[in-house]
Structure 1
Amino acid sequence: MQNFKSLVYLISVGLALLPSKAFAHGGVEEPQSGLPKSTYGLLAMGLLFILFVAFYMVMKKKVQGLKSVKKKEDRIKRQRLEKNLQVLKWGWILSLVGVVITGSLSVMGDKLTTGEGTYLEHVHGLGYSMDGKQIMIPAHDGLKTYSEGHWGSAEGEKHDYMGFSAVDDGFYSSGHPAPGSDKKNPFGIVKSTDEGKTFETLDLYGEIDFHLMSVGYQTHAIYVINPQPNSRMDSTGLYYSIDEAKTWTKSAMKGISEEPTAIAVHPSNEAMLAIGTQSGVFLSKDNGQTFEKVVSKGQATSLFFNTNGTLFVGGYDKQAYLLKLNIENKKSDEISIPDINEDDAIAYITENPANVKEMAFATFKKDVYVSHDNAAQWIKVAEQGKGIDEKNH
């Protein structure tokens, strides 16, 4: 029993370190598989508490058995056991405190992963899942999700998606891999059909990152603004592919002399697309060969075609605005939106393909709004990147 304290210490340290994830509670995200980190911590502390109590009870029984001894060596033994008993007593008390703390962190973690603990470091797109049940937001550190009034994170590696486009069977994107990933950087063009759990590479993998990219919701026609020459595109400018990036065609872009600020592709007409600039919105019906100006209201900051082919335009003309444009007669209606900071504007717009009454937009300042009633009322669900559950409104 002379080395009992050392033994207890080693057992304690070993148990505490055994599930290395147990106490690494640096955040509230769950691992890609398995239990949340805080739950590992709770299990480890619970096991530690049980062991300390078990040792304490055994030691206490031994001490009680030596109460009446008269021999000097037995008295010394009893005194040593009593000291060890005190060590064990403090051990189970501290481990019980650990159980309470890790239990609280576990409960808090559950709350944060679906609520105000979500933080959007950046916002690089906006779109609904295939079934329309959740909004997907590429946010620098992976896809964040918003569903039934609560925030969460999609499964899969936390990639930095750019040029994000939701379609009828998943999404297309460009971007960069997550830290520690074995994926090549940059992505070129990739596609996921399981909401980001996995993706397939289509083209220019490891070569280039497209920030301005859009894909037809039903046609899957891919349009990109190429920022620099690469192995598949000889020069900068507008390129498109209608065969999953197997072949590319360059568009002349006649009618546009300004730098593009936004791009959107019609859901069912692979030849139709819209491009935004500092002075408005231009529409093409011939794969981007020629463009006609259809909106002249300050700068176009975001564009989106819904599944019916209506074009939504986010822009800035002394203040942020949102328009709904009928591309057949070129008539537009302004949609009422909440007051936005005078130095902010709409960066991304989306509409629920399963429920046209529901839509959402995100601003450059990372405010996110959702409407469930055709934009009659808007609910702020993120403020400067911080997620807000609808239940708190």
Structure 2
Amino acid sequence: MKHIKTFLLVSSLGILVSGCSATDEDYSYVKTEDKTIDHIHGIGYPNNKGELVIATHDGLMKYKDSTWYETNSEKHDYMGFQPYKGGFYSSGHPEEGSKLKNPLGLVKSTDGGKSLDKLAFYGETDFHYLGAGYESKVLYAINQEPNSEMDKGLYRSMDEGENWEKADMKGFESTSIGNIAVHPSKKEMVAISSKDGVFVSEDGGDSFTKVENTQTTTSIYLTEKTGLFASIEKGKIQLHELDLDSIKMQSYPTPDLSQDNPIMYISSNPERSAEWTVVTYNNDIYQTTDNGETWNEVVDEGNLEK
């Protein structure tokens, strides 16, 4: 059954365990034989390699030199996938037949998914909404169900999941969110896209300010000086660039998309700042290498041979 992608309803808003999954000595990325992609759960550019990686229901895939690759093992259902300069953080569920516990809790990989370090809530919690600082490694998570250490709400960790602190979220005035975006190096700057606009915090989520004139936003991504977010406006999708110093926004060139196919994920290449990638609800993947002046449709409704 296809997963239904939807906003998280926000209502009233560990112990470090290290270890690795069983791995195949020949673990690698191989040219994919599949013709379609389903269930995209996150995108980004891990390990500072400048290569686009997407997290799916059936493991990781990589786009390099106009070719798609997939892992030949460790095909876990990665949720909340968050790349950072040393690898990626994620949650989710292990592949069928794996010896890993379900759910994965919070895990980290520094070798492209060959092995997973179990950071927190292993076998206990599946985080669908994670945010990570690309440089700082600070983590933010929305916990949907109480676990051994958390109630419901937004939490932050400055030490890769060993300790968590609940954020107050004062000033956040929306009943649903799209995603969490964390500033690459400023540990206390975090933004949330929501059905009521963009909210930005500069104190670790304790207080938020709404960006003026923002409407329903489905995704946001932060770089050192700017952010890019996607809104639904008058039946169409519009990208906006946000200046993080002035918190002013301006329209950004956008692929021609309708409101029933909103942008769900946005990411930027840390090696080439003009390269952006977006993924839509219907599994369209668009990429620009010139700051939106031109967009190339890499995948059409999940079809790799568009």
With structure 1 as the length reference, what TM-score do the two structures score? 0.68
The aligned residue for residue 368 of structure 1 is 285
Matching residue within 157, 164, 180 for 1:248: 164
The aligned residue for residue 4 of structure 2 is none
The aligned residue for residue 103 of structure 2 is 186
Residue 180 and residue 370 in structure 1: after superposition, are their counterparts in 2 closer, same or farther (change >3 A)? same
What is the Cα deviation at residue 205 of structure 1?
Answer: 0.5
Structure index of larger Rg: 1
Query: Where in structure 2 are the equivalents of 1:278-357 lying within 5 Å?
Result: 278-306=195-223, 308-317=224-233, 318-357=235-274
The aligned residue for residue 83 of structure 2 is 166
Q: Report runs of 4+ in structure 1 exceeding 3 Å deviation.
A: 32-35
State whether structure 2 residue 37 is matched by structure 1 residue 120.
yes
> Which structure carries more relative contact order (alpha carbon 8 Å, separation 6+)?
2
2:147 aligned partner, one-letter code: N
1:320 aligned partner, one-letter code: I
What is the Cα deviation at residue 257 of structure 1?
Answer: 3.0
Give the conservation status (yes or no) of the 8 Å contact 1:135–1:145: yes
2:145 aligned partner, one-letter code: Q
Q: After superposition, what is the alpha-carbon deviation per residue over 1:119-157, rounded to whole angstroms, capped at 9, x for unaligned? A: 211110110132434211011100011111111113540
2:117 aligned partner, one-letter code: E
Q: More helix per residue: 1 or 2?
A: 1
What is the Cα deviation at residue 295 of structure 1?
Answer: 4.6
What is the Cα deviation at residue 379 of structure 1?
Answer: 0.9
Residue 330 and residue 205 in structure 1: after superposition, are their counterparts in 2 closer, same or farther (change >3 A)? same
Give the conservation status (yes or no) of the 8 Å contact 2:198–2:215: no
SS in structure 2 of the partner of residue 281 of structure 1? strand
Aligned counterparts of 2:51 and 2:99: Cα–Cα separation in 1: 28
What is the Cα deviation at residue 232 of structure 1?
Answer: 1.3
State whether structure 2 residue 129 is matched by structure 1 residue 219.
no
The aligned residue for residue 149 of structure 1 is 66
The aligned residue for residue 230 of structure 1 is 147
The aligned residue for residue 77 of structure 1 is none
Matching residue within 168, 173, 190 for 1:257: 173
Residue 309 and residue 181 in structure 1: after superposition, are their counterparts in 2 closer, same or farther (change >3 A)? farther
SS in structure 2 of the partner of residue 337 of structure 1? coil
Aligned counterparts of 2:240 and 2:104: Cα–Cα separation in 1: 33
The aligned residue for residue 125 of structure 2 is 208
Query: Where in structure 2 are the equivalents of 1:39-50 lying within 5 Å?
Result: none
Give the conservation status (yes or no) of the 8 Å contact 1:164–1:213: yes
Aligned counterparts of 2:270 and 2:285: Cα–Cα separation in 1: 19
What is the Cα deviation at residue 33 of structure 1?
Answer: 6.5
Q: After superposition, what is the alpha-carbon deviation per residue over 1:247-285, rounded to whole angstroms, capped at 9, x for unaligned? A: 110011001132222111111111110012111000101
The percentage of aligned residue pairs carrying the same residue is: 39
2:110 aligned partner, one-letter code: T
2:60 aligned partner, one-letter code: L
Aligned length: 281
Aligned counterparts of 2:72 and 2:84: Cα–Cα separation in 1: 18
The aligned residue for residue 51 of structure 2 is 134
Aligned counterparts of 1:155 and 1:270: Cα–Cα separation in 2: 35
2:227 aligned partner, one-letter code: L
Larger CA deviation: 146-155 vs 224-233: 146-155
Residue 356 and residue 249 in structure 1: after superposition, are their counterparts in 2 closer, same or farther (change >3 A)? same
Aligned counterparts of 1:246 and 1:198: Cα–Cα separation in 2: 19
The aligned residue for residue 16 of structure 2 is none
Give the conservation status (yes or no) of the 8 Å contact 1:121–1:140: yes
What is the Cα deviation at residue 237 of structure 1?
Answer: 0.5
Q: More strand per residue: 1 or 2?
A: 2
What is the Cα deviation at residue 114 of structure 1?
Answer: 4.7
SS in structure 1 of the partner of residue 273 of structure 2? coil
Give the conservation status (yes or no) of the 8 Å contact 2:50–2:272: no
SS in structure 1 of the partner of residue 37 of structure 2? coil
Aligned counterparts of 1:295 and 1:364: Cα–Cα separation in 2: 26
Give the conservation status (yes or no) of the 8 Å contact 1:324–1:335: yes
